[in-house]
Structure 1
Amino acid sequence: MFPARPADFRRRAVYPRGSIACHACGTAIHVYRLATLPDEVSLRCPACGARDFYSSRVLTVEQLPERRRKPRG
């Protein structure tokens, strides 16, 4: 009838993160500001250091759980 804990009703907060594979080495490049992203963007790979142009349409969006212990309010 009622949940064992009141925390069962709370939904966990999520944040969006985009990722795309590097053309040179295949490592995932993560983008955190998706709202202001233009149609074509230049990104640098964190692993190999190669910089290339990527289309924002190829970007895959992931929903990840919030990392903060204290939620914004």
Structure 2
Amino acid sequence: MSGKTFRKGAPVTWHWGSGTAKGKVAEVFERRVSRTIEGKRISRNGTADNPAVLVEQEDGGKALKRASELSHH
């Protein structure tokens, strides 16, 4: 259980490689969701306690994360 809530448009960060990535919440899912991102099919099992979050980055990239992987920016 992540205990974190995220709303559309909220700025978020997450660990990526040896650094930190950032973006804004585009959508929140409390169910299983799949998206094709950069040619790869990515799936996350979102739940009410730990939803899946689609994040849009400033460069136009997207990431599909669980709320437990994200921090409020």
Fold shared by both chains (TM-score > 0.5): no
Q: Which has the higher strand share?
A: 2
Smaller-chain TM-score bracket: under 0.3
Provide TM-score, normalisation by structure 1. 0.25
Provide TM-score, normalisation by structure 2. 0.25
